[in-house]
A = this chain, B = another copy of it.
Amino acid sequence: MSFIKSNENISDSGKRAEGASGALCNVLHRFDAQEQGEEAYRIVRELYPICRSITGDGVRQSLCLLQGTAPLELREVSSGTQVFDWTVPKEWNIRDAYIKNEAGERVVDFQRCNLHVLNYSVPVRQKMSLKELKPHLFTLPETPDWIPYRTSYYRETWGFCLTQRQLESMGDGQYEVSIDSTLEPGHLTYGEYRIQGATDDEVLISCHACHPSLCNDNLSGIAIAARLAGLLKAVSLRHSYRFLWIPGTIGSITWLAMNEAILPRIRHGLVLSCVGDSGPFTYKRSRRGDAEVDRAVEHVLLHCEREFQALDFTPYGYDERQYCSPGINLPVGCFMRTPNGRYPQYHTSADDLSLVTPSSLGESLLQLLRVIQVLDENGRYFNLNPKCEPQLGRRGLYRQMGGTKDAAASEMAMLWVLNLSDGEHDLLDIAIRSGIPFAEVSRAADALKEAGLLGSAS
């Protein structure tokens, strides 16, 4: 493990040459969703057993494992650091926890599933009756085989989460309760990776990395962010890309508080969460509602040939709550499949390795790459021959035989780009208005630029 204290500079990989544009298009061309999905699933499986929280060694261990996929750096912020209205909490670590019955058998055992401990439980070692114990026990009576996931980060207490069946099988005797944890001054740890592009304008990709053995929420997001970083690091891009693997809420608040100077450079952003289940895509818009990233994601999903839903921003969910607080107000949306709280396994032990699939992970990554393509290739142009259509035919850009019913797709894309390139509409506008996928519109713009018919408006 190599730690870097927060706010040190991350070494840039150097300004990329602008000439290599189109490389992203090659990544998409070569993209094998199944293979990519399996790589992502491998990461999920590897991280699954680790007990993570908003601080502690589980986070560190997880981030180090991700370094095999993307060269992220670990950053540490001391407990007690003031971050806006919040204070970085003490660091929590746990070695073992159990409830033993009178026979000395572990009826609840942290070693079997780390969800069994109320996350951030203070240490305890005590004998008590079931009646005394009960206020510290959490179950899900309606799904009696599932362990709930519960936390108590900011009120010092302890507890156990167990299945309803476990609870019902516990007799009235005395129990030995043990949580071998520490809650002490230490650090909050997060992962960060920045790819320098041709410009300093940034795209932010953020995911919460604080949940223990829960796969869709959010090992799926963690893995996809790592794979996306891995794919983009080799590509010539216009924007710089910043990836964050952070504890939910306190992590984004900490990062925002310590990086306010960077915020004006963030042009677009996405929070990734719950991207591994097989449900249709869900996009939750940024607080602005019509930011470029909002329009880009909705355009891409409209062409993904599956149902999807786009939801207006609400101040509940993931770290978009902080990125979209009124004093920050970044254009950051949240990219998901089935949203938090909308699938039965949410925040239970049933959010396990069977809920996420390689093919869902692969498809999520593909759509994200398409969104990145829109964000990176979008631009505003001027038709340099704005009075009537230019004669595309003599430039070899238009069919010579007239009378057929429809124009070819590439011709339609060129006509649209020419018609709407008045300095007011960008390529994404044109793609949305025409119903033509962005990639086709972008290709048409390239052909027209090459023919000298289109000039940059910026």
A260 nearest CB across to chain B (Å): 8
**Chain-B contact segment, one of A148-156, A219-227, A230-238, A292-300:** A148-156
Query: Is A419 a contact partner of B154 (Cβ separation < 8 A)?
Result: no
Most buried by B among A256, A314, A416: A314
A416 nearest CB across to chain B (Å): 6
Kindly state whether residue A196 has any CB partner on chain B within 8 Å: no
The digit string for A140-160, where 1 denotes a CB below 8 A from any CB of B, is 000000001111111100000
Query: Is B401 a contact partner of A150 (Cβ separation < 8 A)?
Result: yes
Count of chain A residues near B, Cβ 8 A: 60
The digit string for A389-426, where 1 denotes a CB below 8 A from any CB of B, is 11101100000111111110000100110111110000
A378 nearest CB across to chain B (Å): 19
**Chain-B contact segment, one of A181-189, A198-206, A317-325, A364-372:** A317-325
Query: Is B419 a contact partner of A325 (Cβ separation < 8 A)?
Result: yes
Query: Is A325 a contact partner of B151 (Cβ separation < 8 A)?
Result: no
Most buried by B among A322, A385, A390, A403: A403
Query: Is B150 a contact partner of A385 (Cβ separation < 8 A)?
Result: no
A153 surroundings in chain B (CB, below 8 A): 402
The digit string for A419-437, where 1 denotes a CB below 8 A from any CB of B, is 1111000000000011000
The digit string for A433-447, where 1 denotes a CB below 8 A from any CB of B, is 110000000000000
Query: Is A84 a contact partner of B385 (Cβ separation < 8 A)?
Result: yes
A-B contact pairs, 17 of them (CB 8 A): A84-B387, A85-B390, A86-B388, A150-B403, A150-B404, A152-B401, A249-B389, A252-B388, A256-B388, A314-B416, A315-B415, A315-B419, A322-B389, A325-B419, A326-B420, A327-B383, A341-B406
A contact residues vs B (CB 8 Å cutoff): 84-86, 119, 148-155, 249, 252-253, 256-257, 287, 312, 314-316, 321-322, 324-328, 341, 346-347, 383, 385-391, 393-394, 400-407, 412, 415-416, 418-422, 433-434
Q: 3 closest pairs, A vs B, by CB?
A: A327-B386, A151-B402, A315-B419
